Amino acid sequence: MKDLLKYINIIVVLLMILVFGFIAEKIYSGYLFKDNQLKNKEKEIQEKKDWWIKIEEMDREFSRLENTLIKEDTFGFKRLLDNIGEKLSVTIDSFRPLGLKDYEVYREIRVDLSVNSDYKGLSKFIELLESTGTIEVENLVKTGGTNSRIYILGLFKK
């Protein structure tokens, strides 16, 4: 027992180190848990910000597309084609709507055009049509000489 009393100070210090180590580990694990929760929340917030940015980009793109849609009816669409054709010496011999589809925000029209123009004027005409962003040339059939048939798709607001 005397030998044990000799080492009592060392034993007490070791026990105190063990107790303080246990307490420090408990405190550290609590902070570590809170730190992980904070990192997860920050990650979640960043993901939501990324989604919000994507939604805003899509909204801007939708607004841009909506503003480029032709704001008139079928006859307005025909007038637009005539105006573009006049600038390039392209005469539209016939304008035949092939179908009209209504969607929630816009209307889609397919048209068969018979045009009379030289190659250069025709290519400029098609280029100008497609540059509007709402008119797409689906098919071009050269019928001989300066005559051509163009199948186009146009989009416009309701």
The type of residue at 111 is V
Nearest to 125 by CA among 157, 91, 153: 91
What is the C-alpha to C-alpha distance for residues 4 and 10, in angstroms, rounded to an integer? Answer: 10
Highest mean pLDDT among 15-24, 92-101, 120-129: 15-24
Residue 56 or 30, more confident:
56
Q: What is the pLDDT of residue 154?
A: 72
Q: What are the residue boundaries of the structural domains of the chain, listed by start?
A: 2-68, 74-157
What tokens does 135 get? 């008119």
Query: What fold does the segment set 74-157 form as a domain?
Result: Alpha-Beta Plaits (3.30.70)
What is the C-alpha to C-alpha distance for residues 156 and 37, in angstroms, rounded to an integer? Answer: 50
For the beta sheet containing 106-116, the strands, ordered from the edge strand earlier in sequence to the opposite edge, are 91-102, 106-116, 147-157, 135-144
DSSP class of residue 70?
Answer: B
Model confidence over 31-80: pLDDT tens digits?
A: 888 888 999 999 999 999 999 999 999 888 877 766 555 555 677 778 87
**Percentage of residues in the chain having pLDDT higher than 70:** 89
The model's pTM: 0.50
